[in-house]
Amino acid sequence: MWAIVAAVLVLAALIAVVLRLTKRESPQKPVRRGGPSRTVAKRSSFATSPWLPRLTILLIVLTVASLAAAFAQFRVTKTQTRTTAPIVMLVVDASKTMDSTDITPNRLAAAQDAARTFLQQLPAEFRVGLVTFAVEPAVLAQPTADHEQVLAALESPPRGNRTVIGEGLAASLDTIESTWSEEGQTDSAVILLSDGLDTPTDQVDPLDAATRARSLGLPVYTVVLGLTGTPGGANMELMSQIATTTGGSVSTASTAGELTSAYQTLGTQLSTELQIGSKAQIFVPLAILFAIAAALLVLMGSSRSRF
């Protein structure tokens, strides 16, 4: 919005300068033509040039048109905020290994605290959904702007001794697609946290789910919790492949502080990347560009008038 205000101010100043320059006359000089002397006003070259003032006026018209389009798009965006708010799906590993106390007080509790920090970084209108996975995936919260509801759902997720990463990711994609079909497509992303190895199933391979996410234009940001490269540790290579395939990024956390920091960074990043789009962002720079071009022409005319 500030850019639109700035463009309006530039336009107002430009119009004032143009009006002044086009009406400005140079000092009168006496001209003798075989009769009584008389004075003839010599107008500035800006006013007498056949193309300079016309081009300037055209640029001003384009500036006004661009600003009008920007204001119109801004109003449309404001009225559609409730149905076009971005979606972020949290996909959290709820397997029994999340009870490990190598991260204080334990991995699951640290993940819950980090999720709270993450949600504090997101704009209030962002819709957040929750999927947990262990033996099977569970959609515990549909995308909602009630972030407290998501945190409450994360308090007691279904637990188990398996880690079906592929199915958990697929469930989040199903949820996003279902929401899109009902309310219209909007910018969305997935955050996937796991502390262990994927348990292979005949249902969904994690990389197949990642390929599907890429086809939908959904980046998956993975967070690897706990130790990696040790027996029973998280599969860093798999989590990196998921992120790379979808255009997301991978983070690692071996302490509660690192996990909170990772989620905090993701919250800030997604707040920037998934802000509600507006075509006004296209028209405002155009308006400013046209205004600057017109101002340069005015300056050209002004400098010529001095010679």
- For the stretch 192-233, pLDDT in tens is 999 988 998 889 999 999 999 999 999 999 999 987 666 667
The ranges assigned to domains in the chain are 2-29+43-80+282-304, 87-273
- 243-257 pLDDT, tens digit per residue, is 999 999 999 998 889
* pLDDT over 60 at 7, yes or no: no
Percent of the chain surpassing pLDDT 70: 67
When pLDDT is averaged across residues 96-124 and rounded to a whole number, the result is 91
When pLDDT is averaged across residues 97-105 and rounded to a whole number, the result is 90
250: which strand partners?
222
Q: Count of alpha carbons within 13 Å of 50, Cβ hemisphere only?
A: 0
- Most confident range (mean pLDDT) of 18-32, 59-73, 196-210 is 196-210
- 111-125 pLDDT, tens digit per residue, is 999 999 899 888 899
Neighbours of 118 (CB within 10 A): 26
User: Which CATH architecture fits 87-273?
Assistant: 3-Layer(aba) Sandwich (3.40)
How many Å apart are CA 68 and CA 76, to the nearest integer? 13
